[in-house]
Chain A
Amino acid sequence: MEQSFLFLVLTLDATLRVSTPLIFCAMAGLFSERSGIIDISLEGKMLAAAFAAASVAAVTGSAWLALIAGVAVAVGLALLHGFACITHKGNHVVSGVAINILASGLTIVLGIAWFQRGGQTPSLPPTARFMPVEFPLAQAVDGVPVLGTIYRELLSGHNLLVYVAFLIVPLTWWVVYRTRFGLRLRAVGENPTAVDTAGLSVSWLRFRAVMLCGLLTGLAGTYLSIAQNASFVRDMTAGQGYIALAAMIFGKWRPFPAFGACLIFGLLDAVAIRLQGVHVAGIGEVPVEFIQALPYILTVILLAGFIGKAVAPKAIGMPYLKER
Chain B
Amino acid sequence: MSFLKQSAVVGTVLMMSFAAQAADDKPAVVFDMGGKFDKSFNQGVYAGAERFKKETGVSYREFEVTNETQREQAIRKMAQRGQSPIVGVGFAQSSAIETVAKEYPDLKFTIIDGYVVLPNVQAVLFKEHEGSFLVGMLAAMASKTGKVGYIGGMDIPLIRAFGCGYEQGAKYSNPAVEVIQNMTGTTPAAWNDPGRGSELTKGQIDRGADVIYAAAGGTGVGVYQAAKDSGKLAIGVDSNQNHLHPGTMLSSMVKRVDVAAYNSFKQGLDGTWKAGVQSLGLKEGGVDWALDENNRSLVSADMEARVNQAKADIISGKIKVHDYRSDNKCVM
Q: Which residues of A are in contact with B by a Cβ distance under 8 Å?
A: 7, 10, 14, 17-18, 108-109, 112, 116-120, 123, 224, 228-231, 233-236, 238-239, 269-270, 273-274, 276-278, 288-289, 292
Contact: B35 with A118, CB < 8 Å?
A: yes
Contact: A229 with B192, CB < 8 Å?
A: no
Question: Among residues 262 to 277 in chain B, which have CB atoms less than 8 Å away from a CB atom of chain A?
Answer: none
**Which 9 pairs of residues, A with B, have the shortest CB-CB distance?**
A118-B38, A118-B34, A116-B37, A233-B218, A230-B225, A229-B194, A118-B35, A274-B203, A238-B193
Shortest CB–CB separation between residue B183 and chain A, in angstroms? 6
CB contacts (< 8 Å) of A229 on chain B: these are: 194-195, 198, 221-222, 225
Chain B's closest residue to A111 (CB) is B35
Contact: B39 with A118, CB < 8 Å?
A: yes
Q: How long is the Cα–Cα vector from A228 to B66 in the complex, in angstroms?
A: 27
The tally of residues in B whose CB lies under 8 Å from a CB in A reads: 36
CB contacts (< 8 Å) of B193 on chain A: these are: 233, 236, 238
Contact: A238 with B34, CB < 8 Å?
A: no
CB contacts (< 8 Å) of A239 on chain B: these are: 189
Shortest CB–CB separation between residue A103 and chain B, in angstroms? 14
Contact: A14 with B202, CB < 8 Å?
A: yes
Contact: B182 with A236, CB < 8 Å?
A: no
Contact: B195 with A276, CB < 8 Å?
A: no
CB contacts (< 8 Å) of A224 on chain B: these are: 195
List, sorted by A's number, 10 A–B pairs whose CB atoms are closer than 8 Å.
Answer: A10-B206, A14-B203, A116-B37, A120-B38, A120-B221, A123-B245, A228-B195, A236-B195, A273-B182, A276-B182
Whether, in the assembled complex, B297 has its beta carbon less than 8 Å from a beta carbon of chain A, the answer is no
Q: How long is the Cα–Cα vector from A270 to B203 in the complex, in angstroms?
A: 9
Whether, in the assembled complex, B200 has its beta carbon less than 8 Å from a beta carbon of chain A, the answer is yes
Contact: A277 with B225, CB < 8 Å?
A: no
Whether, in the assembled complex, B94 has its beta carbon less than 8 Å from a beta carbon of chain A, the answer is no
CB contacts (< 8 Å) of A289 on chain B: these are: 186
Selected from A117, A234, A273, the residue in CB contact (under 8 A) with B39 is: A117
Q: How long is the Cα–Cα vector from A230 to B180 in the complex, in angstroms?
A: 24
Q: How long is the Cα–Cα vector from A18 to B182 in the complex, in angstroms?
A: 18
The winner among A234, A235, A273, A292 for most chain B CB atoms within 10 A is A273
CB contacts (< 8 Å) of A236 on chain B: these are: 192-195, 218
Q: How long is the Cα–Cα vector from A193 to B214 in the complex, in angstroms?
A: 57
Contact: B34 with A119, CB < 8 Å?
A: yes
Q: How long is the Cα–Cα vector from A124 to B182 in the complex, in angstroms?
A: 26
CB contacts (< 8 Å) of A230 on chain B: these are: 221, 225
Selected from A123, A238, A288, the residue in CB contact (under 8 A) with B189 is: A238
Shortest CB–CB separation between residue B35 and chain A, in angstroms? 5
Shortest CB–CB separation between residue B151 and chain A, in angstroms? 10
Q: How long is the Cα–Cα vector from A228 to B225 in the complex, in angstroms?
A: 10
Contact: B198 with A228, CB < 8 Å?
A: yes
Chain B's closest residue to A232 (CB) is B194
Chain A's closest residue to B67 (CB) is A105
Sample of 7 further A-B pairs with CB below 8 A, known A118-B37, A118-B39, A120-B38 = A10-B203, A14-B203, A118-B35, A230-B225, A239-B189, A273-B200, A276-B200
The winner among A10, A112, A269 for most chain B CB atoms within 10 A is A112
Whether, in the assembled complex, B185 has its beta carbon less than 8 Å from a beta carbon of chain A, the answer is yes
CB contacts (< 8 Å) of B222 on chain A: these are: 229, 233
Q: How long is the Cα–Cα vector from A28 to B219 in the complex, in angstroms?
A: 27
CB contacts (< 8 Å) of B207 on chain A: these are: 278
Known: A18-B199, A123-B225. A118 touches B40 (CB 8 A): yes
Shortest CB–CB separation between residue B247 and chain A, in angstroms? 13
Chain A's closest residue to B32 (CB) is A118
Whether, in the assembled complex, B173 has its beta carbon less than 8 Å from a beta carbon of chain A, the answer is no
Shortest CB–CB separation between residue A132 and chain B, in angstroms? 8
